[in-house]
Chain A
Amino acid sequence: MKLLHKKLLGLLSIVLLIPGYKAFSQDAQKGTLSIAIGYYNENNQIPYVKAKVKTKVDGRFKTVAGIPLKLYLNKDSAGNLIAQVVTNDKGEAAAIIPASLKSQWGAGPSHSFVATFDGNKKYDAATGDVTVGKAKIEIDTTSDRKIIATVYEMKDTAWKPVKGVDVIVAIKRMDADLNVNETATFSTDSTGKASADFKRDSLAGDANGNITLVAKVEDNDQFGNLSIQKTVPWGAKFVPVNTFDRRTLFATRDKAPIWLILMATSIIVVVWGILIGLVVNLFKIKKLGQEA
């Protein structure tokens, strides 16, 4: 009996230990997140920051959705909070720099951005940060279809041209940007300018022949992401082909193709003409029978 009690006690201990072990093992399996922050300034308007959250699964990075993040300017204190955000399906979350941080933003030529994650049941707490210098980009065109992009950085309290920045000069299309010529990237000279010749003469534009040029600096260690656009009438005028009012096989009933109407009507008239003739023939047979 004593032995039986011992055995039961042992079994009970194992049963009770299993959930504890499971909970422990879950803690041990918590994932690690990496947070990357990007700074964006488009058309020299209100800048924004975008955080991207990834984790390593089976040796490969995978984006993580639904992660709550706090974004700060310069340091992670309540007064410097940019926004609280949650990552989307692509593992990304973005926020503009709010007006409440205007004084901090204007205080110096460079700033840091900090993203923090407090941790949850699946992932450990994580932080990410990036430091960028204030910069802007401008775009101009000449009559001989040359595009000039100029990059400036804030030094002390004035904008100064920057040399040696890689600038992409392109044309904005529906899915991706198209190079203006055979070169994709241009470097700025000592005046901060990068110039590119436009060599896409027959490119389709909108109804007025307008196309959108874009100059951008991407993932620059010093300035982040800058971009600017300009609309120019350098494209070919797009004349839409509208079949809405034409006679087509897929149009409304009153817009059926003439050939189809003629063909269908003639077949119907011929076949039903024959059939009506045959019905009339029956009446003739009937009449003959009555006469007989």
Chain B
Amino acid sequence: MENLQSLESEKIIQDLLPQKFGRKGKIFIGVLLAFCLVGLFAYYRQLRYGLVVTSMRDYVSWGIYISNFVFFVAISLVGSLITAVFRLANVEWSKPLTRIAEIIAVAAIIFASLIIIVDMGSPERFYNLFLYGRIQSPIMWDVIVITTYFFISLLLLYYPLLPDIKILLRFKEKSGKGLHKLYKFLGSYWKESPKQIKLSDKAINILCITIIPVAFSIHTVTSWLFATTYRPGWDSTNFGAYFISGAFLVGAGSVVVAMYIFRKAYNLENYITPKHFEKMGRIVVLLALLYLYFNINEYLVPAFKMKKSEEAHLLGLFTGDYAPLFWFAILTGMIIPIIILLFKKGRKPVPVFVAGIMVVVGAWFKRYLIVTPTMLHPFMPMYNVPESYHHYFPSWEEWAIALGSLAGTMLVITILGRIFPIIPIQETLNEQHETAA
């Protein structure tokens, strides 16, 4: 970060302190809140009238909620990529992006947990999962790893915040009373003594090492929810790696989008530079190529064999009802971003941002395509069921809840970005001192 050499420490601190929402920020928050409220109303209706308000029936019992769940779990994996993998590999340029990644991870994992409860017909019986859960069930494994990952992500967000909180406490007037109290509660004990720094650094290293296998587990186990059942499209030994590669891609895509928006909104051009977009662009294109490779494996091999029992499912995706969505997800989620990002001009902030949005949108539809079409093509043919059971299109309540949860995730990210410095201040100062020396 050559820009840092020319900046004074105090200027850096002023630049990176959390800023109040401007007019655009308030409108953005208002829109997100509106989506959340409509989602809450739809959920109230679902609680009151039951899952019948959704379009899920006997065959499609996993619809848009589970697609959303897989999407959130995928996005949350970015915490381990940017924070843990890059930190352990001493990737210096990634430091300004670590907090963005961790905030996204925490927000996504919160809503992954919530959306699973939304998918339950009787959420008041949720505790039975713990009372009577079977350790043999992948669903139980998922509950365990999600809880663990959430906790690790929180710690990984909190530990590196301590030095920044010490700085934030110096700016009581700018923070306001409420936030100052919160900062005091969270980190007034941080005195930056050598012993404290040693303990904190050690803890962060342990967290970075621990989060990688847990992150791999969370997404592998999520893939096993599908792969351990015998259904067309899910009956695959490739699913764990396929899911993880897709998760890394959408996670990196979401970081690219978030860093562009935060950079614009908080004027962080000196800290999140075109160089960061160039590097992240390279990572996204690498991950997109990797995910494309797994997709080719996942679809080409079964298509080559075209087993009778899987034919309807595969043709439905390639040329049937789901073909427009399928090719949209492949093109938008992988092919076009790859084409954009392979070229140097495509790795400038705006094209990288556009490619990031495409990756995220494509990834959401990809999750929908993994979950729903399979359920419409069971091995035992549907027989003697109402016509509506043969199709699935989410009801307005499902759309509202799904969009509400997406808005909720963005709201949490935005609020955390308002409360805490989106770029680690102390680490930036340290880097400035090092480059100046």
Contact residues of A with B, CB < 8 Å? Answer: 248-253, 256-257, 260-261, 264, 268, 271-272, 274-275, 277-279, 281-282, 284-286, 288-290, 292
- The answer to whether A288 and B134 touch across the interface, beta carbons within 8 angstroms, is no
Interface membership of B306, Cβ < 8 A: no
For residue A253, which residues in chain B have a CB less than 8 angstroms away from its CB?
Answer: 132-136
Residues A285 and B152 in contact, CB atoms below 8 Å apart: no
Q: How far is the CB of A71 from chain B (nearest CB, A)?
A: 32
CA distance A286 to B162 in the complex (A): 11
Stretch at the interface among B174-182, B192-200, B277-285, B359-367: B192-200
- Closest Cβ–Cβ distance, residue A206 to chain B (whole Å): 30
Within 8 A of A (CB), among B208-229: 210, 214
- Known contacts A253-B132, A253-B134, A288-B195; A278 and B155 CB within 8 A of each other: yes
Report whether A278 and B136 are in contact in the complex, using a CB–CB cutoff of 8 Å.
Answer: no
- Residues from chain B with a CB closer than 8 A to the CB of A271 are 148, 210, 214
User: B210 to A260, Cβ gap below 8 A?
Assistant: no
Asked whether B190 is an interface residue with its Cβ less than 8 Å from the other chain, the reply is: yes
Q: Is the CB of B206 within 8 A of A292?
A: no
Residue B144 lies at the interface, judged by CB distance under 8 Å to chain A? yes
Residues of B close to A248: CB separation below 8 A? 136
Cβ B155 vs Cβ A275 within 8 A: yes
Contact assessment for A288 and B155 in the assembled complex, using a CB-CB cutoff below 8 Å: no
Contact B214 A289 (CB under 8 A): no
Residue in A closest to B193 when the chains form the complex, CB atoms = A292
Among A256, A279, A292, point to the contact of B136 (Cβ < 8 A).
Answer: A256
**B191 neighbours in A (Cβ, 8 Å):** 288-289, 292
The main secondary structure of chain B at its interface with chain A is: helix
Do A260 and B203 form a contact, CB below 8 Å, given A275-B148, A289-B190? no
Separation in Å of the A74 CB from the closest CB of chain B? 43
Q: What are 22 A-to-B residue pairs whose CB atoms are below 8 Å?
A: A250-B136, A253-B136, A256-B135, A256-B136, A257-B136, A260-B135, A264-B141, A271-B210, A275-B155, A277-B206, A278-B203, A278-B206, A279-B155, A282-B158, A282-B203, A285-B162, A285-B189, A285-B200, A288-B195, A289-B190, A289-B191, A289-B196
How far, in angstroms, from A260 to B137 measured CA to CA in the complex?
11
Q: Mark B408-437, 1 if CB is under 8 A from A, else 0.
A: 000000000000000000000000000000
Distance of A221 from chain B, by nearest CB (Å):
41
Say how far A254's CB is from chain B's closest CB, in angstroms.
Answer: 9
- Please report the C-alpha to C-alpha distance between residue A281 and residue B197 in the assembled complex, in whole angstroms: 12
User: When each residue 103-134 of chain B gets 1 if its CB lies under 8 Å from chain A and 0 otherwise, what string results?
Assistant: 00000000000000000000000000000111
Residues from chain B with Cβ under 8 Å of A256 in the complex: 134-136
Q: Does B342 interact with chain A (Cβ within 8 Å)?
A: no
CA distance A277 to B205 in the complex (A): 13
Q: Give chain B residues whose Cβ lies under 8 Å from the Cβ of A285.
A: 162, 189-190, 196, 199-200
Known A271-B214, A278-B206; contact A286-B134, beta-carbon cutoff 8 A: no
Asked if B151 lies at the interface with its beta carbon under 8 angstroms from chain A, I say: yes
A264 to B221, CA, bound (A): 13
Q: For B241, what are the chain A residues with a Cβ–Cβ distance below 8 Å?
A: none
Let me know if B207 is at the binding interface, CB within 8 A.
Answer: yes
Nearest chain B CB to A8's CB is how many angstroms away?
45
Interface centre among A248, A278, A290 (most CB of B within 10 A): A278
In angstroms, Cα B195 to Cα A108, docked, is 114
Contacts A253-B132, A260-B135 given: A274-B210 contact, CB under 8 Å?
yes
Known: A253-B132, A282-B158. 20 other contacts (CB 8 A): A248-B136, A256-B134, A264-B144, A271-B214, A272-B148, A274-B206, A275-B155, A278-B155, A278-B203, A278-B206, A279-B155, A281-B203, A282-B159, A285-B189, A285-B190, A288-B195, A289-B190, A290-B189, A292-B191, A292-B193
C-alpha spacing A271/B148, complex, angstroms: 8
| Bound Cα distance from A275 to B136, whole angstroms | 24
- Which residues of B are found within 8 Å of A289, using beta-carbon distances? 188-191, 193, 196
Q: Which residue of A lies closest to B134 (CB)?
A: A253
- With a CB–CB cut-off of 8 A, which chain A residues contact B132? 253
**Complex: A275 Cα to B159 Cα, angstroms:** 13
Instruction: Report A-chain residues with C-beta under 8 Å of the C-beta of B210.
Output: 271, 274-275
Say whether A288 contacts B135, CB under 8 Å: no
Please report which residues of chain B, range 140-197, place their CB below 8 angstroms from some CB of chain A when the two chains form the complex: 141, 144, 148, 151-152, 155, 158-159, 162, 188-191, 193, 195-196
Whole-angstrom CA separation of A251 from B134 in the bound complex? 9
Please tell me if the beta carbons of A261 and B155 are within 8 angstroms of each other in the complex.
no
Please name the residue on chain B nearest to A251 by beta carbon: B136
A284→B199 contact, CB < 8 A:
yes
The 9 A-B pairs of least Cβ separation, nearest first, read A289-B189, A253-B134, A286-B189, A292-B191, A289-B191, A249-B136, A256-B135, A281-B203, A285-B196
Residues on B with beta carbons closer than 8 Å to the beta carbon of A274:
206, 210
Q: Which residues of A contact B135 (CB under 8 A)?
A: 253, 256, 260-261, 264
Min Cβ gap A255→B in Å is: 9
Task: Give every chain B residue within 8 A of A257 (Cβ-Cβ).
Answer: 136
- CB neighbours of B188 from chain A (8 A): 289
Most chain B beta-carbon neighbours within 10 Å: one of A248, A282, A284: A282
Q: Min CB distance, A279 to chain B, in Å?
A: 8
Chain B positions within 8 Å of A279 at CB level: 155
B1 CB, nearest partner CB in chain A, Å: 28
With A281-B203, A285-B200 as contacts: A268 and B136 at CB distance below 8 Å: no
Cα A256 to Cα B133 with chains together (Å): 11
Residues of A with C-beta under 8 A to B195: 288
Contact status B152-A275, CB under 8 Å? yes
- B residues in contact with A292, CB < 8 Å: 191, 193
Min C-beta distance of A267 to chain B, whole Å: 8
Chain A residues with CB below 8 A from B196, complex form: 285, 288-289
Using Cβ atoms and an 8 Å threshold, which residues of chain B touch A250? Answer: 136
Query: What residues on A are CB-neighbors of B152 within 8 Å?
Result: 275
CA distance A260 to B195 in the complex (A): 41
Bound-state Cα–Cα, A253 to B134, Å: 5
Establish whether residues B136 and A260, one from each chain, have CB atoms under 8 Å apart when the complex forms.
yes
